[in-house]
């Protein structure tokens, strides 16, 4: 039993006390402090935007009550449950199934009554249990080159450089790939007889997309021919596949180059995550405007054959399983599908986590390269029963700057599958 499971019966026992008018939902979670999740388990009470201060206890049985205002989606679920049921049936990212929740509205309306408004947009299909490649994730102690960088400042320039050094093969697992300048970089980097093996999710079209994920695979097929091996990730809501492994999304962003180097990131290969700017190496007048509408994402490039081969085994396994399932072969066109913005869903999710820390000093400017200094890498197999949706530390960084001396602490977590 994880530490959140024991909160469920406590909520159930005090449900009438917590179920006050204006309460949207009640669930176990982690206490927020300054809008940042801590590791302290809590009873999370979501309240409507239009409700005043409720008379709730500060704690129950030693667990603090963490009161939060409903998000836009939660507000729709509260005020328009029938509309929400219809929307959630078609958009998996709207579903509140990462935690066990107590929903007063659903109880009042009746779960069966709400379900009647939700069209069956996903035909029943069998689930394939995730088995893994049979290669254990293991910690590695070695002297390793690690480059930590961030978007929009340095994301695409370093990704382009990483891709350009490909000598024979690139193995990739991605959630979304809709950027033309990244597509061009991949095609240029793999010119000749170089191989690309990619497993790709197929979410709804990103607002900044140059092309859909299907268009991306079509372009790669036209350019690389038989050098391309592509498959759709086996995500349940993808209508084009006959069986599924991942309930909501294949939310990975990892590339392995020549079994020797790894690119791991919180950001997809989209314009919003990797804009085509280089404000450090080649600044231009439009950089600030582009940066303001781009995401802040965090990336690491790690030079380690041992680690690269370890992680590549998982990527290859994902591809082999996906390509063996009807509809999984990604070279055929498929309809764009709404993915899931939650980082971790479902019990038993596993992850590979990288924790890099360093103190970099003596820099002459605030944009100093972070590939110097003393770095320590920890790679471990992490059970994510406690890292759920909103509380999941998918990719977090703590940045502090004192004049021109900079310290970084970077944590990147990405899911490889569910066991």
| pTM of the full structure | 0.59
CA–CA distance, 187 with 270 (Å, rounded to integer): 16
| Lowest-pLDDT choice from 200-204, 216-220, 318-322, 324-328 | 324-328
Mean pLDDT across the chain: 76
**pLDDT tens readout for residues 22-68:** 999 899 999 999 888 899 999 999 999 988 889 899 999 999 999 99
Give the 3-state secondary structure of residue 173: strand
Distance of CA 201 to the CA centre of its chain: 11
The hierarchical CATH code for the domain 145-418 is 3.30.870.10
Question: Backbone phi, then psi, for 160, in 5-degree steps?
Answer: -60, -40
Residue 376 pLDDT > 70: no
- Tell which residue, 77, 65, 87, has the closest CA to residue 108: 77
- Beta pairing class for 63-69 and 59-60: antiparallel
Sorted by where each begins, the domain ranges of the chain are 7-115, 145-418
- The pLDDT assigned to 272 comes to 94
Quick one: average pLDDT of 180-207? 94
**pLDDT tens readout for residues 80-112:** 887 777 777 656 666 665 566 676 655 555 444
53 pairs with which residues across the strands?
A: none
Quick one: average pLDDT of 1-29? 88
What is the pLDDT confidence band of residue 338, given thresholds at 50, 70 and 90? very low
Please, what is the Cα angle at 395 between 408 and 196, to 5 degrees? 110
Give the 3-state secondary structure of residue 236: coil
Pair 320, 230: CB distance under 8 Å: no
Residue 1 pLDDT > 90: no
Quick one: average pLDDT of 174-191? 97
Residue 143 pLDDT > 70: yes
- The pLDDT assigned to 112 comes to 47
- The pLDDT assigned to 414 comes to 33
**pLDDT tens readout for residues 274-311:** 999 999 999 999 999 999 999 999 999 999 999 999 99
Residue 404 pLDDT > 80: no
Cα maximum dimension of the chain: 68
Q: Which two tokens stand for residue 147?
A: 């480059």
Residue labelled with tokens 């349940």? 236
What is the pLDDT confidence band of residue 315, given thresholds at 50, 70 and 90? very high
CA–CA distance, 258 with 60 (Å, rounded to integer): 54
């Amino acid at each position: 039993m994880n530490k959140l499971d024991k909160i469920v019966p406590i909520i159930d026992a005090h449900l009438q006390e917590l179920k006050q008018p204006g309460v949207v939902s009640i669930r176990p979670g982690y206490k927020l402090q300054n809008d940042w999740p801590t590791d302290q388990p809590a009873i999370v009470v979501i309240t409507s935007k239009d409700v005043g201060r409720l008379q709730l206890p500060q704690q129950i049985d030693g667990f603090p009550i963490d009161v939060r205002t409903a998000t836009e989606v939660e507000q729709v679920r509260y005020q328009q449950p029938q509309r929400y049921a219809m929307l959630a049936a078609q958009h998996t990212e709207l579903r509140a199934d990462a935690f066990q929740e107590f929903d007063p509205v659903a109880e009042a309306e009746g779960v069966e009554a709400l379900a009647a408004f939700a069209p069956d947009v996903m035909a029943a299909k069998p689930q394939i249990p995730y088995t893994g490649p049979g290669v254990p994730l293991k910690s590695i102690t070695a002297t390793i080159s690690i480059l930590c960088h961030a978007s929009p400042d340095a994301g695409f320039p370093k990704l382009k450089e990483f891709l350009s050094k490909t000598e024979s093969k690139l193995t990739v697992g991605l959630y979304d790939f809709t950027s033309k300048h990244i597509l061009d970089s991949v095609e240029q980097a793999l010119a000749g007889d170089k191989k690309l093996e990619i497993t790709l999710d197929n979410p709804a079209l990103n607002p900044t997309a140059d092309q859909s994920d299907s268009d991306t695979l079509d372009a790669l097929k036209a350019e690389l021919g038989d050098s391309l091996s592509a498959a759709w990730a086996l995500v349940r809501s993808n209508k084009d596949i006959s069986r599924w492994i991942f309930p909501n999304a294949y939310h990975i962003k990892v590339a392995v180059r020549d079994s020797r180097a790894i690119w791991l990131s919180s950001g997809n290969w989209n314009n919003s995550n990797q804009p085509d700017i280089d404000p450090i190496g080649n600044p231009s007048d439009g950089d600030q405007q582009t940066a303001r509408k781009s995401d802040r994402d965090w990336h690491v490039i790690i030079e380690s054959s041992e680690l690269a081969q370890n992680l590549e085994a998982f990527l290859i396994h994902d591809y082999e399983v996906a390509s063996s399932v009807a509809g999984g072969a990604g070279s055929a066109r498929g309809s764009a599908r709404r993915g899931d913005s939650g980082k971790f869903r479902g019990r038993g999710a596993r992850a590979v986590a990288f924790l890099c820390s360093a103190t970099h000093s003596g820099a002459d400017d605030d944009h100093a390269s972070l590939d110097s200094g003393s770095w320590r890498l920890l790679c471990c197999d992490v059970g994510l029963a406690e890292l759920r949706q909103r509380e999941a530390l998918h990719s977090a960084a703590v940045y502090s700057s004192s004049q021109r001396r900079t310290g970084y602490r970077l944590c990147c977590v990405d899911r490889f599958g569910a066991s």
